[in-house]
Amino acid sequence: MPLVGTAEIVHPAWAARTGVGAFNVIHLEHAEALVAGATAARSPVILQISENCVRYHGTLEPIALATLAVARAAEVPVAVHLDHAESVDLVHEAVALGFSSVMYDGSTLDYPENVAQTKAVVEHCHAAGVWVEAELGEVGGKDGVHAPGVRTDPDEAAAFVASTGVDALAVAVGSSHAMLTRDATLDHALIAKLRAAVSVPLVLHGSSGVADADLFEAVRQGMTKINIATQLSKVFTAAIRYYLTANPDTVDSRKYMKAGREAVATESARLLRVLGGAE
Protein backbone atom coordinates (compact mmCIF):
# COMPACT_ATOMS: atom_id res chain seq x y z
CA MET A 1 0.00 0.00 0.00
CA PRO A 2 1.40 3.44 -0.84
CA LEU A 3 2.27 6.19 1.60
CA VAL A 4 -0.97 7.66 3.00
CA GLY A 5 -2.04 10.92 4.57
CA THR A 6 -1.92 11.02 8.36
CA ALA A 7 -5.60 11.97 8.47
CA GLU A 8 -6.42 8.67 6.72
CA ILE A 9 -4.96 6.84 9.72
CA VAL A 10 -5.89 9.14 12.60
CA HIS A 11 -9.46 10.17 11.76
CA PRO A 12 -10.98 6.66 11.59
CA ALA A 13 -9.30 5.81 14.90
CA TRP A 14 -10.56 9.07 16.43
CA ALA A 15 -14.12 8.25 15.39
CA ALA A 16 -13.83 4.66 16.66
CA ARG A 17 -12.03 5.65 19.91
CA THR A 18 -9.08 3.40 19.16
CA GLY A 19 -5.42 4.33 19.29
CA VAL A 20 -2.88 4.93 16.55
CA GLY A 21 0.81 4.14 17.10
CA ALA A 22 3.24 6.90 16.13
CA PHE A 23 6.77 5.56 16.51
CA ASN A 24 10.08 7.36 16.06
CA VAL A 25 12.65 6.53 13.41
CA ILE A 26 16.32 7.12 14.21
CA HIS A 27 18.03 4.79 11.71
CA LEU A 28 16.81 3.02 8.58
CA GLU A 29 16.56 -0.17 10.66
CA HIS A 30 13.88 1.50 12.79
CA ALA A 31 11.72 2.34 9.77
CA GLU A 32 12.04 -1.22 8.46
CA ALA A 33 11.25 -2.69 11.87
CA LEU A 34 8.22 -0.49 12.48
CA VAL A 35 6.67 -1.37 9.14
CA ALA A 36 7.37 -5.05 9.81
CA GLY A 37 5.66 -4.71 13.19
CA ALA A 38 2.65 -2.96 11.67
CA THR A 39 2.40 -5.64 9.01
CA ALA A 40 2.45 -8.37 11.67
CA ALA A 41 -0.22 -6.55 13.68
CA ARG A 42 -2.19 -5.76 10.50
CA SER A 43 -2.37 -2.19 11.67
CA PRO A 44 -1.59 1.22 10.19
CA VAL A 45 1.37 3.07 11.68
CA ILE A 46 2.88 6.55 11.69
CA LEU A 47 6.67 6.79 11.28
CA GLN A 48 8.06 9.90 12.96
CA ILE A 49 11.32 11.76 12.36
CA SER A 50 12.09 14.29 15.07
CA GLU A 51 14.12 17.47 14.93
CA ASN A 52 16.57 15.75 17.31
CA CYS A 53 16.96 12.93 14.77
CA VAL A 54 17.66 15.49 12.06
CA ARG A 55 20.40 17.02 14.25
CA TYR A 56 21.93 13.56 14.70
CA HIS A 57 22.09 12.95 10.95
CA GLY A 58 23.06 16.52 10.19
CA THR A 59 20.30 17.00 7.65
CA LEU A 60 16.73 15.84 7.04
CA GLU A 61 16.77 14.63 3.45
CA PRO A 62 18.70 11.30 3.63
CA ILE A 63 16.77 9.78 6.55
CA ALA A 64 13.53 11.27 5.22
CA LEU A 65 13.89 9.80 1.73
CA ALA A 66 14.81 6.39 3.15
CA THR A 67 11.80 6.42 5.49
CA LEU A 68 9.44 7.57 2.75
CA ALA A 69 10.72 4.76 0.51
CA VAL A 70 10.07 2.17 3.24
CA ALA A 71 6.57 3.60 3.77
CA ARG A 72 5.73 3.47 0.06
CA ALA A 73 6.68 -0.21 -0.11
CA ALA A 74 4.54 -1.22 2.89
CA GLU A 75 1.62 -3.63 2.80
CA VAL A 76 -0.29 -1.61 5.42
CA PRO A 77 -1.12 2.12 5.57
CA VAL A 78 1.94 4.11 6.67
CA ALA A 79 2.27 7.87 7.17
CA VAL A 80 5.52 9.79 7.67
CA HIS A 81 5.45 12.62 10.21
CA LEU A 82 7.89 15.35 11.29
CA ASP A 83 7.96 15.30 15.09
CA HIS A 84 8.70 18.18 17.50
CA ALA A 85 9.89 20.69 14.93
CA GLU A 86 10.68 24.04 16.48
CA SER A 87 12.22 25.27 13.21
CA VAL A 88 9.74 26.62 10.66
CA ASP A 89 12.35 26.10 7.93
CA LEU A 90 12.49 22.40 8.83
CA VAL A 91 8.70 22.22 8.58
CA HIS A 92 8.86 23.74 5.09
CA GLU A 93 11.56 21.24 4.06
CA ALA A 94 9.48 18.30 5.29
CA VAL A 95 6.48 19.52 3.33
CA ALA A 96 8.60 19.86 0.18
CA LEU A 97 9.97 16.32 0.63
CA GLY A 98 6.48 14.81 0.77
CA PHE A 99 5.82 14.18 4.48
CA SER A 100 2.25 13.21 5.38
CA SER A 101 2.15 15.57 8.36
CA VAL A 102 4.20 17.76 10.65
CA MET A 103 4.19 18.66 14.32
CA TYR A 104 5.12 22.28 14.95
CA ASP A 105 6.18 22.62 18.59
CA GLY A 106 5.69 26.16 19.87
CA SER A 107 4.91 24.98 23.40
CA THR A 108 7.84 26.87 24.94
CA LEU A 109 6.61 30.16 23.44
CA ASP A 110 4.18 32.39 25.27
CA TYR A 111 0.55 31.76 24.32
CA PRO A 112 0.00 34.62 21.81
CA GLU A 113 3.26 33.83 19.98
CA ASN A 114 2.48 30.09 19.94
CA VAL A 115 -0.90 30.89 18.37
CA ALA A 116 0.60 33.23 15.76
CA GLN A 117 3.46 30.93 14.75
CA THR A 118 1.29 27.82 14.68
CA LYS A 119 -1.37 29.55 12.59
CA ALA A 120 1.27 30.56 10.02
CA VAL A 121 2.58 26.97 9.88
CA VAL A 122 -0.97 25.64 9.43
CA GLU A 123 -1.63 28.02 6.54
CA HIS A 124 1.56 26.94 4.76
CA CYS A 125 0.98 23.22 5.35
CA HIS A 126 -2.71 23.19 4.49
CA ALA A 127 -1.93 24.90 1.18
CA ALA A 128 0.19 21.82 0.40
CA GLY A 129 -2.37 19.34 1.75
CA VAL A 130 -0.26 18.49 4.82
CA TRP A 131 -1.84 17.71 8.22
CA VAL A 132 -0.58 19.67 11.26
CA GLU A 133 -0.18 18.78 14.92
CA ALA A 134 0.73 21.33 17.60
CA GLU A 135 1.36 21.27 21.35
CA LEU A 136 -0.22 23.22 24.19
CA GLY A 137 0.96 22.74 27.78
CA GLU A 138 4.58 21.60 27.55
CA VAL A 139 5.18 17.88 28.01
CA GLY A 140 8.32 17.47 30.11
CA GLY A 141 11.40 15.40 29.40
CA LYS A 142 12.87 17.17 26.38
CA ASP A 143 16.39 18.54 26.89
CA GLY A 144 16.42 17.53 30.53
CA VAL A 145 13.09 19.18 31.35
CA HIS A 146 10.71 17.21 33.52
CA ALA A 147 7.43 18.94 34.22
CA PRO A 148 4.98 16.32 35.47
CA GLY A 149 2.80 18.97 37.14
CA VAL A 150 2.08 20.87 33.93
CA ARG A 151 -1.41 20.33 32.54
CA THR A 152 -3.29 21.60 29.50
CA ASP A 153 -6.40 23.63 30.26
CA PRO A 154 -9.45 22.41 28.26
CA ASP A 155 -10.87 25.89 27.60
CA GLU A 156 -7.49 27.19 26.45
CA ALA A 157 -7.04 24.10 24.28
CA ALA A 158 -10.38 24.69 22.56
CA ALA A 159 -9.50 28.34 21.93
CA PHE A 160 -6.07 27.39 20.60
CA VAL A 161 -7.51 24.92 18.10
CA ALA A 162 -10.12 27.44 16.94
CA SER A 163 -7.50 30.19 16.55
CA THR A 164 -4.86 28.13 14.72
CA GLY A 165 -6.82 25.60 12.66
CA VAL A 166 -4.56 22.69 13.69
CA ASP A 167 -5.61 19.14 12.83
CA ALA A 168 -4.48 17.53 16.11
CA LEU A 169 -3.33 18.72 19.52
CA ALA A 170 -0.64 17.29 21.80
CA VAL A 171 -1.64 17.90 25.41
CA ALA A 172 0.05 17.64 28.80
CA VAL A 173 -1.80 15.17 31.03
CA GLY A 174 0.99 13.69 33.17
CA SER A 175 3.37 11.95 30.80
CA SER A 176 6.99 12.96 30.23
CA HIS A 177 9.47 12.35 27.44
CA ALA A 178 12.45 9.99 27.72
CA MET A 179 11.21 8.01 30.74
CA LEU A 180 13.00 4.68 31.22
CA THR A 181 10.36 3.36 33.63
CA ARG A 182 6.70 2.86 32.81
CA ASP A 183 5.14 4.42 35.90
CA ALA A 184 3.88 7.82 34.75
CA THR A 185 0.50 8.74 36.21
CA LEU A 186 -1.95 10.09 33.66
CA ASP A 187 -4.89 12.35 34.52
CA HIS A 188 -7.64 10.36 32.84
CA ALA A 189 -10.38 12.72 33.99
CA LEU A 190 -8.54 15.59 32.27
CA ILE A 191 -8.18 13.52 29.09
CA ALA A 192 -11.96 13.06 29.02
CA LYS A 193 -12.51 16.81 29.55
CA LEU A 194 -10.07 17.65 26.77
CA ARG A 195 -11.77 15.19 24.41
CA ALA A 196 -15.11 16.87 25.12
CA ALA A 197 -13.70 20.39 24.69
CA VAL A 198 -11.47 19.99 21.64
CA SER A 199 -12.74 19.40 18.11
CA VAL A 200 -9.63 17.55 16.82
CA PRO A 201 -7.81 14.33 17.79
CA LEU A 202 -5.62 14.44 20.90
CA VAL A 203 -2.00 13.29 20.96
CA LEU A 204 -0.16 11.73 23.90
CA HIS A 205 3.59 12.42 23.93
CA GLY A 206 5.95 10.70 26.34
CA SER A 207 3.97 7.47 26.11
CA SER A 208 7.01 5.24 26.73
CA GLY A 209 6.63 6.04 30.43
CA VAL A 210 3.02 4.81 30.53
CA ALA A 211 2.07 1.23 31.37
CA ASP A 212 -0.01 -0.78 28.89
CA ALA A 213 -3.19 -0.61 30.99
CA ASP A 214 -2.91 3.17 31.32
CA LEU A 215 -2.27 3.54 27.58
CA PHE A 216 -5.42 1.56 26.87
CA GLU A 217 -7.38 3.68 29.35
CA ALA A 218 -5.99 6.90 27.88
CA VAL A 219 -7.28 5.81 24.48
CA ARG A 220 -10.64 4.88 25.98
CA GLN A 221 -10.91 8.33 27.58
CA GLY A 222 -10.10 10.15 24.36
CA MET A 223 -6.45 10.01 23.27
CA THR A 224 -5.92 8.95 19.64
CA LYS A 225 -2.35 9.38 18.40
CA ILE A 226 0.09 7.75 20.83
CA ASN A 227 3.77 8.71 20.41
CA ILE A 228 6.33 6.14 21.53
CA ALA A 229 10.10 6.42 21.09
CA THR A 230 12.13 5.61 24.22
CA GLN A 231 10.48 2.22 24.81
CA LEU A 232 11.47 1.11 21.32
CA SER A 233 15.00 2.46 21.76
CA LYS A 234 15.24 0.42 24.96
CA VAL A 235 14.37 -2.87 23.26
CA PHE A 236 16.59 -2.05 20.26
CA THR A 237 19.60 -1.39 22.49
CA ALA A 238 18.90 -4.36 24.77
CA ALA A 239 18.76 -6.75 21.83
CA ILE A 240 22.05 -5.47 20.42
CA ARG A 241 23.71 -5.62 23.84
CA TYR A 242 22.50 -9.20 24.34
CA TYR A 243 23.74 -10.25 20.89
CA LEU A 244 27.19 -8.71 21.37
CA THR A 245 27.54 -10.20 24.84
CA ALA A 246 26.67 -13.64 23.47
CA ASN A 247 28.86 -13.16 20.39
CA PRO A 248 31.81 -11.01 21.50
CA ASP A 249 33.84 -11.68 18.35
CA THR A 250 31.17 -10.25 16.03
CA VAL A 251 32.36 -7.40 13.80
CA ASP A 252 29.65 -7.53 11.11
CA SER A 253 27.22 -4.80 12.15
CA ARG A 254 24.43 -6.37 10.08
CA LYS A 255 24.22 -9.23 12.56
CA TYR A 256 23.63 -7.19 15.69
CA MET A 257 21.58 -4.51 13.94
CA LYS A 258 19.33 -7.30 12.66
CA ALA A 259 18.80 -8.41 16.26
CA GLY A 260 17.80 -4.86 17.20
CA ARG A 261 15.52 -4.55 14.18
CA GLU A 262 13.72 -7.80 15.01
CA ALA A 263 13.22 -6.72 18.62
CA VAL A 264 11.67 -3.41 17.56
CA ALA A 265 9.39 -5.19 15.08
CA THR A 266 8.12 -7.50 17.83
CA GLU A 267 7.59 -4.71 20.37
CA SER A 268 5.94 -2.32 17.93
CA ALA A 269 3.50 -5.04 16.85
CA ARG A 270 2.67 -5.68 20.51
CA LEU A 271 2.12 -1.99 21.21
CA LEU A 272 -0.11 -1.57 18.17
CA ARG A 273 -2.28 -4.43 19.44
CA VAL A 274 -2.50 -2.76 22.89
CA LEU A 275 -3.54 0.56 21.35
CA GLY A 276 -6.10 -1.16 19.16
CA GLY A 277 -7.57 -3.00 22.15
CA ALA A 278 -6.40 -6.46 21.04
CA GLU A 279 -4.32 -7.12 24.19
pLDDT digits (tens, 9 = 90+) for 161-202: 999 999 999 988 865 554 545 556 678 888 889 999 999 999
- pLDDT, residue 277, reads 66
> What does pLDDT average to over the chain?
90
Instruction: State the pTM of this model.
Output: 0.91
Indicate which residues carry an active-site annotation: 83
Query: Any idea where the domains of the chain sit in the sequence?
Result: 6-275
DSSP E strands: which ranges in 2-106?
Answer: 20-24, 45-50, 78-85, 101-104
Residue 136 confidence (pLDDT): 82
Please write down the long-range contacts of 92-98, taking CB distance under 8 Å and 24 or more positions apart. Answer: 92/124, 93/60, 93/61, 94/49, 94/60, 94/64, 95/124, 95/125, 95/128, 95/130, 97/60, 97/61, 97/64, 97/65, 97/68, 98/3, 98/68
| pLDDT score of 144 | 34
The model's pLDDT over 14-31, given as tens digits with 9 standing for 90+, comes to: 999 999 999 999 999 999
Structure confidence by residue, pLDDT tens digits, 25-66: 999 999 999 999 999 999 999 999 999 999 999 999 999 999
Q: Report domain 6-275's class.
A: alpha beta
Predicted local confidence at residue 263, as pLDDT: 98
Looking at residue 179, its pLDDT comes to 53
pLDDT tens column, 209-252: 777 788 888 888 889 999 999 899 999 999 999 999 999 999 99
pLDDT band at 207 (very low <50, low <70, confident <90, very high): confident
pLDDT at 131: 97
